[in-house]
Amino acid sequence: MKFSLLLFAFWSSQTMAIENTSLRIVRGLSIGSMVADWSQTRWLSKNHDKGYKETNPILGEYPSTRRVDLYFLSLLSIQSLLNIYGNEYTKWHVNLSVLVTHGLAAKHNYSIGIKFYF
């Protein structure tokens, strides 16, 4: 897990490479929403006995913590690559879609009692 956090720190630093201030803010918020969703999904992976099921079909109903970590690290990698090599439209699209998708997931998870966990 420590390696995962080191990689996350690297990907977060890519935010500062974005010159457009508004896009930098959206990028930072999108990373924050993804981390919130990631931490809640990790909590869920350790608390299947409380009656919760994962609804992401890629992860399955009862994912392991390792599977959750690999999934979110993959998403962060793809997002970072698109931010490094994509054009301005691509950067806006990927960051806004990640922000909305993971932000809504984290909000929903919190509303049904899923805790943040790392």
> Is 65 within a domain?
yes
CA neighbours closer than 13 Å in the CB half-sphere of residue 39 = 15
116 belongs to a structural domain: no
Most confident residue range from 6-15, 69-78, 108-117: 69-78
What is the count of structural domains for the chain? Answer: 1
Question: What pLDDT is recorded for position 7?
Answer: 57
pLDDT in tens, 26-58: 888 888 888 889 999 999 999 988 888 898 899
* Inside any domain, residue 71: yes
> Collapsing DSSP states into helix, strand and coil, what is residue 68?
helix
Which domain does 52 fall in, by range?
22-111
Do the domain assignments include residue 52?
A: yes
Predicted TM-score (pTM) above 0.95:
no
End-to-end CA distance of the chain: 9
Residue 13 in domain: no
User: Per the domain annotation, does 10 fall within a domain?
Assistant: no
Comparing 1 with 50, the larger pLDDT belongs to: 50
> Per the domain annotation, does 48 fall within a domain?
yes
Task: Check residue 13 and give its pLDDT.
Answer: 59
Instruction: Please tell me the predicted confidence (pLDDT) of residue 65.
Output: 93
